[in-house]
Amino acid sequence: MAKTEKQGNAFVETIKTVVYALLIAGVFRTLFFQPFWIPSGSMKQTLLIGDFLFVNKMAYGYSYASCPSVVLPRFGINLDAKKLCGVFDGDNTRLFGGDPERGDVVVFRHPVSGRDYIKRLIGLPGDKVQVDNGILRINGTVVPQEADGTFEEVMTLQGPQGLRPRCANGAVGEGGTCIKERAIETLPNGASYAVLNIGPQGSDRTGVYTVPEGHYFFMGDNRDNSADSRLAQTAGGVGFVPYENLIGRADRIVFSSAGRSMLFFWTWRGDRFFEAIK
> What pLDDT score was predicted for residue 77?
67
Domain assignment present for 219: yes
pLDDT band for position 93 (cuts 50, 70, 90):
confident
- Rounded Cα distance between 177 and 173, Å, is 8
Domain assignment present for 270: no
> What pLDDT score was predicted for residue 265?
85
Domain assignment present for 187: yes
Q: Which of 195, 179, 197 is nearest to 143 (CA)?
A: 195
Catalytic residue among 66, 119, 180, 257: 119
CATH classification at residue 161: 2.10.109.10
pLDDT band for position 259 (cuts 50, 70, 90):
confident
Q: Does the pLDDT value for residue 74 go beyond 80? A: no
Q: Which of 264, 263, 272, 247 is nearest to 36 (CA)?
A: 247
Domain assignment present for 197: yes
In this prediction, what percent of the chain has a pLDDT beyond 90?
Answer: 64
Q: How large is the average pLDDT for residues 153-159?
A: 93
Looking at the chain, how many residues does it have? Answer: 278
Domain assignment present for 91: yes
> What pLDDT score was predicted for residue 97?
85
Domain assignment present for 272: no
> What pLDDT score was predicted for residue 15?
53
Query: Domain span at residue 192?
Result: 32-264
Catalytic residue among 40, 42, 66, 203: 42
Beta-sheet strands, E only, within 8-58: 33-37, 51-56
Domain assignment present for 155: yes
Q: Is 119 in the active site?
A: yes
Domain assignment present for 27: no
Q: Quickly count: other Cβ atoms within 10 Å of residue 135's Cβ.
A: 14
> What pLDDT score was predicted for residue 260?
85
Number of domains in the chain: 1
pTM: 0.85
